[in-house]
Amino acid sequence: MTGTDHNNPLQPSSAADSDHDAEQKAQRHQQRQQKLKEKVDERIAAATRDKGLLLVITGNGKGKSTAGFGMVCRTVGHGMRAAVAQFIKGSWACGERDLLQQHGVAFAVMATGFTWETQNRALDMAAAQAVWQQAKQYLQDPAIHLVLLDELTYMLTYDYIALEEVLDALTTRPQGQHVVITGRGCHRSLIELADTVSEVQSVKHAFDAGIRVQQGVDW
């Protein structure tokens, strides 16, 4: 049998009915999007303050430092100054550092490597303090638009840097300066102080399957 089966309730009775259904769907979609737009516009209109933000990126998933460096790149892309203090990381190559130093980004690096490699608390603490002293200078410079404190959370967990000293440096920094802190297990005091907190969770990681870290992806 060819043509329209008028005894089949599942088949549209005509092309006009199909067009009508499509038009109704389009109208409902437009109405939903208009309501969404109104809500977004309300929130944008209500956000009237400007301030230097403290952002925390924590959690056990991959990508915390990468996200922090993304904000450094964004800052530099807008022609503003940024500085980075890298805790934990060693003297091995860092793609972000190699690139950003070419664009005037200042770096202070704790070049002793990971604590499970050095196994020397006194050495690690001295290295952490040296980087922290430089970081404090960044946090006092109003010409620096954004400071990334990469893996700072570990320094507080290990008591290499005093929490009170960090909180003081953050609360007394220039008014318009933004700060990004990355690392697992962020101290609750930093989370409470922060304006924005993101938690990166691990679902799968290639390293757990025996795959080596990959240049350009992991470092």
Does one domain contain both 153 and 65?
A: yes
- Do 144 and 69 reside in the same domain of the chain? yes
**Domain final position from 31, 48, 65:** 48
* Segment 206-219 mean pLDDT: 81
Asked whether residue 2 is assigned to any structural domain, the reply reads: no
Question: Are 58 and 35 in a shared domain?
Answer: no
Domain of 177 in residue numbering reads as 54-209
DSSP code of residue 140:
T
Q: Is residue 216 part of a domain?
A: no
Together in a domain, 44 and 64: no
pLDDT tens per residue, range 20-33: 788 888 888 888 88
Condensed to tens digits (0 to 9), the pLDDT of residues 23-68 reads 888 888 888 888 888 777 787 787 667 799 999 999 999 999 999 9
Residue 9 within any structural domain of the chain = no
Does 126 share its domain with 167?
A: yes
Residue 7 lies in a domain: no
| Cβ–Cβ under 8 Å, residues 156 and 166 | yes
Any residues with CB less than 8 A from the CB of 153 and at least 6 apart, and which? Answer: 58, 181, 182, 183, 184, 185, 186, 187, 190
Q: What is the mean pLDDT of residues 196-204?
A: 94
Is 1 domain-assigned?
A: no
pLDDT the model gives residue 44: 74
95 and 38 co-located in one domain: no
Mean pLDDT of the chain, nearest integer: 87
Model pTM?
Answer: 0.80
Domain count, the chain: 2
| In a shared domain, residues 194 and 86 | yes
